[in-house]
């Protein structure tokens, strides 16, 4: 598969995922939404592994990779789904734009990578200033907004840790294999959470919620994670994390057009700063070698 095509696929999937997460919990609860998504995801992932005749190895490095991916999926997704109850869908992708900073710092410490050069650090600061401008536009929504933002921010830290952990293990596994193994670790944890919290089966299943769960379980979980780990295998971790500086734009537009979420002038100016930071990050080393 072409690495640029996989990269673009991750961008589009992640850009539409926040709105689907928002919809998947409507009337059914966030735990039902995330658990249903992951159950569908692991079934489809196992089916794809079988059809593609891929081997699901269980050597030490493979097991460590599955645990690193699975714990990241479980904790990060639980936090995001919980937070989606309190914040607009677009804000999920906006806060996830902080991921490059966290990932870059971790990669520089734990991995033999370039990490954050002065030029890249300046580019990230420009992008993050745009993120904080967008962040400030929604702070007047009160305590629940703050709780939701804190939940997504914690998810960012877990997601970055999981990505660097998988990269550090470097087991050389197929992206779909990593996804499948990670979901096999995560799904029992989601079902256990469902059981411990005493959740009941929803009395009414909203069509939009079910459609969103199916979309997330098939495209968001299987294809999205498989493309993500494929890109992660071939591209340095910090550049992979730059995906989260593009997805806020797509997520905000999707929320505005499809869910009636308000996007004011500060948000649009913030997106311009984000894109400027992205361009500088990718091309800055050519301008200032």
pTM for this structure?
0.85
Whether pLDDT at 68 is above 70: yes
Whether pLDDT at 284 is above 70: no
Q: What is the pLDDT of residues 28-43, one digit of tens each?
A: 899 999 999 999 999 9
Contacts of 93 (CB under 8 A, 6+ apart): 14, 15, 17, 18, 244, 247, 248, 250, 251, 252
DSSP string, 134-169: HHHHTGGG-HHHHHHHHHHHHHHHHHHHHHHHHHHH
Whether pLDDT at 115 is above 60: no
Choice among 70-74, 183-187, 223-227 with the minimum mean pLDDT:
223-227
pLDDT band at 203 (very low <50, low <70, confident <90, very high): confident
Measure the CA–CA gap between 13 and 34, rounded to whole angstroms: 16
Task: Give the angle 171-174-177 at the CA atoms, nearest 5°.
Answer: 95
Q: Which residue has the higher pLDDT, 167 or 274?
A: 167
pLDDT band at 177 (very low <50, low <70, confident <90, very high): very high
pLDDT band at 285 (very low <50, low <70, confident <90, very high): low
> What pLDDT sits at residue 266?
80
Task: Give the pLDDT mean for 88-106.
Answer: 81
Whether pLDDT at 158 is above 80: yes
Q: Which helix (H) or strand (E) holds 62?
A: helix 60-83
């Amino acid at each position: 598969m072409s690495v640029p095509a996989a990269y673009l696929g991750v961008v589009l999937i992640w850009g539409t995922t926040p709105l689907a997460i928002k919809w998947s919990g409507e009337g059914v609860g966030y735990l039902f939404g995330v658990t249903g998504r992951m159950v569908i995801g692991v079934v489809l992932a196992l089916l794809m592994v079988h059809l593609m005749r891929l081997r699901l190895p269980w050597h030490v490095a493979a097991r460590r990779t599955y645990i690193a991916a699975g714990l990241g999926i479980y904790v990060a997704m639980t936090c995001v789904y919980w937070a989606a109850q309190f914040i607009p869908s677009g804000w999920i992708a906006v806060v996830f734009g902080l991921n490059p900073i966290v990932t870059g710092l971790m990669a520089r410490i734990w991995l033999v990578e370039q990490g954050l050069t002065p030029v890249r650090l300046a580019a990230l600061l420009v992008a993050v200033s745009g993120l904080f401008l967008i962040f400030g536009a929604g702070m007047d929504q009160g305590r629940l907004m703050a709780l939701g933002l804190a939940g997504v921010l914690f998810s960012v830290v877990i997601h970055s840790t999981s990505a660097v952990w998988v990269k550090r293990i470097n087991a050389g596994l197929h992206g779909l294999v990593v996804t499948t193994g990670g979901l096999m670790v995560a799904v029992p944890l989601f079902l256990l959470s469902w059981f411990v919290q005493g959740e009941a089966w929803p009395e009414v299943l909203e069509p939009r919620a079910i459609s969103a769960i199916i979309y997330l379980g098939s495209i968001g979980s299987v294809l999205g994670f498989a493309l993500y780990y494929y890109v992660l295998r071939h591209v340095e971790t910090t550049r992979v994390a730059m995906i989260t500086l593009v997805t806020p734009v797509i997520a905000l537009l999707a929320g505005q057009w499809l869910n009636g979420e308000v996007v004011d002038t500060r948000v649009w100016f913030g997106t311009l700063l984000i894109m400027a930071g992205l361009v500088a990050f990718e091309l800055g080393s050519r301008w200032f070698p």
